[in-house]
Amino acid sequence: MAAARRAIRIDDIYYSNRNDLALLSFDRSATIIIGSEGGCDIPLLNLLKKEKNAVCIDFDPDLKNIDVVCADFGKSIETIAKRFAELGISRIGYIGGKEISPLKGKEIIDPRSAQYIEEFGKLGIYRKEIFRAYGPYTPENAYQFTKELLSGTTKPEAIFVASDNMALGVYKAICEANLSIPQDIKVISCNDQPVSAYMTPPLSTIRIPRAVMGSVALSLASSRAADFRELGVKVMVPTDVVFRKSLI
């Protein structure tokens, strides 16, 4: 652990609502928040506005005083789009979800779906009719979306999934349709959770370097505690693609 090597004490706190703010009432040199914008409510935002040393991992609260560390999906999704184009595959469905920001009251832009539209659009292989991104990011939702795509008039040759968790539902729907992965339909996902390598067939996915993101967050917090920097910075950490049998 990066924190242990640097002799940094870490206190884990799980925030669910304003009642948990009391857990943050102790003295601390920095605050690192891991989560999504969908889990950041007004009370937590008000706390962040007052923080002199805070880092958000995986979401940007859009505050000038906060450091942000996020995954950069751009190059990875570009690589995937080019791989499909090289294979002559043009009907690639997308399955994701949608969150509403408690802070802004509007849809949170998911970098995965945004980059999918951009990179696949550049190559002329973005198909709006097989794009599904609303509701929760759950296997159940992905299962229903996949059934819709497989029964539609434009049947996908491949499916890009927003998360490995959702891919479980995609696999189930494909299996129930008596189709084989990757022979009949190819699947690729995001996150590279440990389970992805043990799915049948093993799931191709985008690997997010969580350990690197955590180390970067610690470095930002440590340096800020030393130099009293007032303005926050944003660091985008590159991802990479792990090609497994679900696409090969």
Q: What is the pLDDT of residues 37-85, one digit of tens each?
A: 776 777 777 878 888 888 999 988 888 998 999 999 999 999 999 999 9
Residue ranges and CATH numbers for the domains of the chain are: 2-71+209-237 (no CATH), 72-207 (3.40.50.2300)
CA distance 82 to 74: 12
Q: What is the mean pLDDT of residues 9-30?
A: 68
DSSP letter at 175? H
For the entire predicted model, the pTM comes to 0.87
At residue 210, what is the residue type?
Answer: R
Residue entry with tokens 């996908």: 156
Would you say residue 1 has pLDDT above 60? no
| Banded pLDDT at 25 (limits 50, 70, 90) | low
Average pLDDT, the chain: 89
**Over residues 176-202, mean pLDDT:** 97
pLDDT at 14: 67
d(CA 192, CA 220): 25
Q: How far is Cα of residue 61 from the mean position of the Cα atoms in its chain?
A: 16
User: How far is it, in rounded angstroms, from Cα 170 to Cα 150?
Assistant: 10
Q: For residue range 91-125, what is the model confidence (pLDDT) as tens digits? A: 999 999 998 877 677 788 899 999 999 999 999 99
Angle at 112 between CA 110 and CA 115, to 5 degrees: 105
Give pLDDT tens digits for 132-153: 998 999 999 999 999 999 999 9
- Residue 131, token pair as written in the block: 């794009």
Q: What separation in angstroms does the CA of 150 have from each of 18, 46, 158?
A: 43, 45, 11
The structure tokens listed for 123 are 């190559």
Q: How far apart (Å, rounded) are the C-alpha atoms in residues 135 and 177?
A: 23
Q: Give CA–CA dist 90/125, Å, rounded.
A: 5
What is the pLDDT at residue 2? 55
Give percent above pLDDT 90 in the chain: 64
